[in-house]
Structure 1
Amino acid sequence: MSVAMAVGWGQAYARDKLRLGTEGAYPPFNFIEPNGAVSGFDVEIGLALCKKMDVDCEVVTQDWDGIIPGLQARKYDFIVASMSITDERKEQVAFTDPYYRSGFALVAPKDSDIVDVSPEALAGKVIGAQAGTTQGNYAAQIFTQSDVKLYPSQEEVNLDLLNGRLDLQVSDYLPMLDWVNNSRQGACCKFIGKPVTDPAFVGDGIAIALRKEDEDLRNKMNEALKAIRSDGTYAAISNKYFHTDIFTFE
């Protein structure tokens, strides 16, 4: 780390390394390779920001339901884990500017005859989603006449859909785009209806979370995000995973 950068961050960050927290179970955004390395879009964006800020970063994984408590307990210094900006989360953490925007997808088996995705039409259907996520909250709030099942991880939601235990699932659109189009398991399934993009549910975008007191680091990350957008680094990472630039996805 350069002396100037250390001074700019203040005493709290006058060290050689920052710790990047992520889930490690949300491909293609964050996942663990067979060799134990943590990879994915989130991880590469986070490390690109570290490089732009001229600081080494260590990647730390944490289960989703404990990811904000882990930040507050100083297990890591910032979270890059496809976290939506919501009013509830803003009470606990500070967010950078969004680094991408997304929506929710409804996904069902290919042989499903579901066409209407209104709450009334889905009454009695079994709907899955990941617990502790905005899509899980959406499913529970909207599909009150359905049997909504919440799971610890997205992988478990996918598995139950694949095995016929769910009529459909609610999930982040971009991971589902990759799962349905590029994975062997995802070939089982199809998208139903249009993505849900209402900010009341999906929030104001996907951003990096930090402790509220770390305002200097937040500002540095916002500067670095603008820099990787302007120099082509962001687009290169996005194209690697999605064959498109997802920064302006709506």
Structure 2
Amino acid sequence: MKRRYLAYLALVFCWVLQGCQFSKSDVSTLDKVLKRGILRVGTTGDYPPFTYLNDQLAYEGIDIELAHNLAATLDAEIQFVPTTWATLLEDLQDDKFDIAMGGISKKLVRQQVGLFSVGYHLGGKTPIAKCEDTIRYNSLEKIDQVGVRIIVNFGGTNQDFIKKNIKKATVQIHDDNTTIFQQLANGKADVMITDVAEVLFQSKKNPKLCAAMPGELLDKFQMGYLMPRDLIWKAYVDEWIAHQMLENKIEKIFSAHLD
């Protein structure tokens, strides 16, 4: 019953705002998922606490739990499709998944290719370093100095932030986001700038690492879910997010992973 109600709201939303007229050859992603009984979720698996591949090669994280919740409303099985930050938009255009989930920042360059859901988390970039070095890197001015080694993962918004804001420091591109924080802990780099949720997660996981600017952000952005250009499907996902928020499920999942 709840599934039908959400689908109905999605259709009404689309008809009122756009007069969406889908031909038989242009069926909504929502209808495709309902028909096949499988929800294909693209995820990088390298961005805890949102998405990561554990030692048993199973996906875990905040957005992995939420993906299962979304699939349940559709009475669908879930199929996780590996993607990368560098190929995310290409994979979306190639119809490799129905929705991308996993700490994805809402950026206009991504909106040019697909559609974002409403935001479900307000994030921002902040630095993380070895605990004994946090005073040395507690501002962007201190970080962007000759001799400072900044490590960053390839192809995502962390790298975009570095390109825009770092002019003097040495930038080290690290291809494997699953080992990047160990590089930092081992002294192979001095500082990393990433989302505040990842900083909180990694500082709890590794006692050598601490937030360099606790409680402060270098920028702000919303996270959302990336989908094909399909307003019916977007409307369904937006309504599902609204239900998750009303029932405090998103807040509880965040707390479980970060507290």
Relative to the length of structure 2, the TM-score reads: 0.81
Residue in structure 2 matching 1:150, options 160, 173, 180: 173
1:41 corresponds to which residue?
A: 62
1:73 corresponds to which residue?
A: 94
Distance verdict in 2 for CA 1:35–1:223, change over 3 Å: same
Q: Secondary structure at the match of 2:192?
A: strand
Distance verdict in 2 for CA 1:76–1:121, change over 3 Å: closer
1:192 corresponds to which residue?
A: 212
Residue in structure 1 matching 2:141, options 106, 119, 137: 119
Q: Equivalent pairs: percent with the same residue? A: 18
Q: Secondary structure at the match of 2:213?
A: strand
1:76-110 CA-to-partner distances (Å, cap 9, x unmatched) read 11000111011111111110001111111211112
The residue correspondences of 1:82-231 to structure 2 (distance < 5 A) are 82-112=103-133, 113-119=135-141, 122-124=144-146, 125-181=148-204, 183=205, 186-194=206-214, 195-199=216-220, 203=221, 205-212=222-229, 214-231=230-247
Structure 2: stretches of 5+ with no match in the other structure: 12-27
Distance verdict in 2 for CA 1:80–1:196, change over 3 Å: same
2:257 corresponds to which residue?
A: 241
Give the deviation of 1:54 after TM superposition.
3.7
Structure 1: stretches of 5+ with no match in the other structure: 244-250
1:57-84 CA-to-partner distances (Å, cap 9, x unmatched) read 2222223222221121111110001110
Q: Is the 8 A contact 1:102 1:197 kept in 2?
A: no
Give the deviation of 1:144 after TM superposition.
0.5
Report the residue type matching 1:35 in the other structure.
Q
Distance verdict in 2 for CA 1:222–1:165, change over 3 Å: same
Higher-Rg structure is 2
1:247 corresponds to which residue?
A: none
Report the residue type matching 2:102 in the other structure.
A
Q: Secondary structure at the match of 1:193?
A: coil
Q: Secondary structure at the match of 1:111?
A: helix
Q: Is the 8 A contact 1:120 1:145 kept in 2?
A: no
1:51 corresponds to which residue?
A: 72
Paired residues, what number?
Answer: 235
Q: Secondary structure at the match of 2:241?
A: helix
Give the deviation of 1:15 after TM superposition.
2.5
CA distance in 2, matches of 1:227, 1:25: 27
Q: CA RMSD in A?
A: 2.5
